[in-house]
């Protein structure tokens, strides 16, 4: 289920690109212009809602299994399952343009904490799994 939750993590964003591509482009342009701008801030400004909350509501409306919904439920990132999904998605997003993204060391530190290993070992593990 963790794998499925990670794959479904951004279905609200995919729907946005399909149904309102002009808004999706505008969001991307704002973040390109200001790399420090958080996604949730852009979402609230342009959509009036965070995509994570919308996605959770859609998952409930569509009748996805409770366990699957709980893995991506906003505010549950302290639990190991949701935390694992969140980290997998974050590391994938931060590494999509290479291994030099400034956010990756923080991701490795958090992953290391989750796995009870050093952040360096976590980074090596991620790169090993991805190659």
Q: What is the pLDDT of residues 102-114, one digit of tens each?
A: 889 999 999 999 9
**Does residue 39 lie within any of the structural domains?**
yes
Range of the domain at 57: 2-68
**Does residue 30 lie within any of the structural domains?**
yes
**Does residue 81 lie within any of the structural domains?**
no
Report how many domains make up the chain. Answer: 1
Question: Distance of CA 39 to CAs 16, 27, 81, Å?
Answer: 14, 8, 23
Other C-beta atoms within 10 Å of 113: how many? Answer: 14
Nearest CA to 9 out of 98, 95, 69, 78 is that of: 69
**Does residue 94 lie within any of the structural domains?**
no
pLDDT digits (tens, 9 = 90+) for 32-58: 898 788 888 999 999 999 988 888 888
**Does residue 22 lie within any of the structural domains?**
yes
pTM here is: 0.64
**Does residue 41 lie within any of the structural domains?**
yes
Contact 42, 48 (CB under 8 A): no
């Amino acid at each position: 289920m963790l794998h499925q939750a990670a794959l479904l993590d951004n279905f609200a964003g995919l729907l946005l690109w399909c149904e309102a591509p002009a808004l999706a482009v505008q969001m991307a342009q704002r973040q390109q212009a200001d790399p420090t701008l958080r996604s949730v801030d852009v979402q609230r400004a342009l959509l009036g809602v965070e995509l994570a909350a919308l996605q959770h509501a859609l998952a409930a409306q569509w009748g996805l299994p409770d366990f699957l919904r709980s893995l991506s439920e906003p505010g549950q990132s302290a639990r190991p399952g949701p935390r694992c999904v969140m980290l997998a998605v974050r590391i994938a997003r931060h590494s999509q343009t290479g291994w030099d993204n400034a956010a990756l060391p923080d991701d490795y530190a958090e992953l290391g904490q989750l796995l009870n290993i050093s952040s360096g070992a976590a980074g090596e593990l991620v790169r090993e799994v991805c190659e």
